[in-house]
Amino acid sequence: MAGNLTKEIIKFLKDNSEKRYEVTEIARKITEKITEQIGTDNTSSVPNSLRKRFKEIKGDKIPSDFFSDFRAITSVILAYNAARGKLQRIEGEGFLKYYYTEKPSDAELPKDSVKAEEEEQRSEQGLYPILSSYLKTKAIGSIRIRESSSRNSSVRGTNRWLHPDLIGIQYLSDNWNSNVGACAKGSFGSQIKLWSFEVKTSINRGNVRDCFFQAVANSSWANFGYLAIEKIVGADRELRMLCNRHGIGVIILNRSKEESDYIHTPARENYDVDWEMVNRLFEENPDFKNGVKSIRSLYQDGDFDREFWGLDDE
């Protein structure tokens, strides 16, 4: 039923072409429309998991917990379709807004918006080496995944909801006795853990869900997915709630050496890597492809390229 809900959301934006809507506004409009459909035969856009709860809505009183769940689903659908170029998105007054247009995406972005986006990217890039250094203290190697080198990088924003900023590897058997390592390999035991990271300079009440679900989209394929942030402003409670629900962790980064980086909320481990998503990233991005090839070499030949993963001794 998620496909039908997607069609409903895109149809709403098409019917209101060129108008900008925040996620909350879109979720509210769709919720109201579906609520009106309950009791008729036209309920195909209602997700199975929410259909019973929709029927329990009385009048225009929509329970806050229900609306929060529906908004989260709407946010993911919007983000996914924006990444595929079916919708457009723009920053407006601290909130991301979505809309439908027939114009090319680059023509829709004001110059000041493009400049602000580029400045934000440069600021985030300054956090990458800080994160890598922190991970190294945990014996986790990492490499940068550059969106600009991807196959579909010509369309602005396409890769934002696909590529993580960094990926990491934790080689569990690095210090094991060779006999133990051979036993683990022979029994198909895991010798590595894969990590994925989305980096942001600042999270606030206006962008917390957008940033968080970007991390969900980009990093849920790995054993551990993290959102690495420099600052959290007024969104700590919401962020912890989202982490508890979806399993993404949070790392706090500090540019100043006076304060240490630390794990704000630990990620919940995924015991199975999503290899379908790994394959998608492998086909899209040469940095990711090189990382997978290094992992393959580790499993085939027992050759762990510490220098490639930034774990070589200084």
Dump pLDDT digits (tens) for 57-81: 555 566 666 677 778 788 888 877 7
Compute the distance between CA of residue 313 and CA of residue 116 in angstroms, rounded to an integer.
Answer: 38
List the domain boundaries for the chain: 2-108, 123-301
Average pLDDT on 3-12 reads: 80
- 188: confidence class by pLDDT, cuts 50, 70, 90: very low
pLDDT of residue 187: 46
Compute the distance between CA of residue 306 and CA of residue 96 in angstroms, rounded to an integer.
Answer: 40
pLDDT of residue 38: 57
Compute the distance between CA of residue 161 and CA of residue 273 in angstroms, rounded to an integer.
Answer: 18
The per-residue pLDDT for range 245-285, each reduced to its tens digit, is: 999 999 999 987 767 889 999 999 999 999 999 998 999 89
pLDDT: is 187 or 159 the higher one? 159
Asked whether 63 and 76 are in contact (CB, 8 A), the reply is no
Residue 294 has pLDDT above 80, yes or no: yes
Q: Per the confidence metrics, is the pTM higher than 0.85?
A: no
Question: What is the domain class of 2-108 according to CATH?
Answer: mainly alpha
pLDDT of residue 259: 73
- 183: confidence class by pLDDT, cuts 50, 70, 90: low
Average pLDDT on 37-44 reads: 54
The per-residue pLDDT for range 211-233, each reduced to its tens digit, is: 898 899 899 999 999 999 999 98
Residue 40 has pLDDT above 80, yes or no: no
